[in-house]
A = this chain, B = another copy of it.
Amino acid sequence: MTMNATGGRRRPPTIHDVAREAGVSRGTVSRVLNGGHYVSPAAEEAVNAAIRKTGYVVNRHARSLITGRSDSVGFLLTEPQERFFEDPNFNVLLRGCTQALAAHDIPLLLMLAGTPDERRRIMRYITAGHVDGVLLVSSHSGDPVADELRDAGVPLVACGKPIGRASKMSYVAADDRDGARDMVRHLLSLGRRRVGTVTGPLDTPGGVERLAGYREVLAGEGIEVDERLIASGDYSRAGGEAAATRLLAQAPDLDAVFVASDLMAQGVLTALHRAGRRVPQDIAVGGFDDSPAALSARPELTTVRQPWDRISAEMVRVLLAQIGGEDPAAVILPTELVIRGSA
């Protein structure tokens, strides 16, 4: 037991110290550590006592060197960083994943890769095996990262259904289309007849699917879709504001709008307010996500709740299963309409 003079760390106990303390071989200690198979109860108890006494903690580097596993998982965000910080969805998702992994004692490495340069460095890091798998957040259809990771054989699960991509990729998503249908039906049930929509980027699943749900409901009601009632946004607050301004110009008789994210809906609210339109009296506004942005909006947003806790839990579950050798899987989770003041 040494200790350096400047008050540094003590040399941590090794498996060897535990073995000596317990009066068994190092192999036996290792077996106890890895599930206790083929170990007698007496030996197991002695080892556990020795572990407690010595304060032994496994050296993960040594273990990883052998197993080829890093026992850690990456949370990879390929969006521009502003988006990560602007949109509360990411935060909620990050927290959920951190917690779900903590239950397995697996640390999460946050990887922010908004620029091509960062992406290159991160890809090298990941494919070198420093992480056992990746939780991939936000994939535009043009984003090569997903394919690169899959081609490199890195276990991977995406948040949201990857579009325009070979099938064999895990993902977890809310039922975007169904949620959108619920919201549009709700707006119609309020008696609104000129229902517009602000979509997400049309190279993302949320952009495409939520718009599809909107079209389906209108078609089902025998209402012809007026393209002037559709404006596309980029999931940012400013994008929502700009889209609403366009909508107002193209279709001044707008009386409701389904916005594909709560954050954009905040922007829509700002534009409507500036234009002198009252919400919900003149124009009803429905959001999507039920993120913290929904509650900080005025009026509070009627929205479609994405089950973020379940989404993150499922992402982790599917990823760990895949790391364990299982095949990719897709999970679709139901949404829920949440009625508040805006519609």
A93 shortest CB reach to chain B, Å: 11
Which residues of chain B have C-beta atoms less than 8 A from A7's C-beta?
153
Q: Are A60 and B130 in contact (CB under 8 A)?
A: yes
Partner of A9, one of B10, B92, B112, B129: B129
CA distance A127 to B60 in the complex (A): 13
Q: Are A91 and B85 in contact (CB under 8 A)?
A: yes
Which residues of chain B have C-beta atoms less than 8 A from A72's C-beta?
109
Q: Are B98 and A112 in contact (CB under 8 A)?
A: yes
CA distance A154 to B9 in the complex (A): 7
A 279-306 binary contact with B (CB < 8 Å = 1; else 0): 0000000000000100000000000000
Is A37 an interface residue, CB under 8 A from the partner?
A: no
Which residues of chain B have C-beta atoms less than 8 A from A10's C-beta?
153
Copies in the complex: 2
Contact (A292, B98) CB under 8 Å given A9-B152, A57-B128, A153-B7: no
Which residues of chain B have C-beta atoms less than 8 A from A9's C-beta?
127, 129, 152-154
A 58-83 binary contact with B (CB < 8 Å = 1; else 0): 11111011000010100100000100
Which residues of chain B have C-beta atoms less than 8 A from A57's C-beta?
124, 128
Which residues of chain B have C-beta atoms less than 8 A from A152's C-beta?
9
The interface size of chain A toward B, counting residues with CB under 8 Å, comes to 47
Partner of A109, one of B84, B107, B121, B154: B107
The chain B residue with its CB closest to the CB of A72 is: B109
Partner of A85, one of B92, B112, B127: B92
The 5 closest A-B pairs by CB, nearest first: A57-B128, A61-B64, A9-B153, A110-B110, A85-B91
A 32-60 binary contact with B (CB < 8 Å = 1; else 0): 00000000000000000000000001111
Which residues of chain B have C-beta atoms less than 8 A from A75's C-beta?
110
The chain B residue with its CB closest to the CB of A168 is: B7
Q: Are A98 and B110 in contact (CB under 8 A)?
A: yes
Q: Are A102 and B81 in contact (CB under 8 A)?
A: no
A 110-147 binary contact with B (CB < 8 Å = 1; else 0): 11100000100100110111100000000000000000
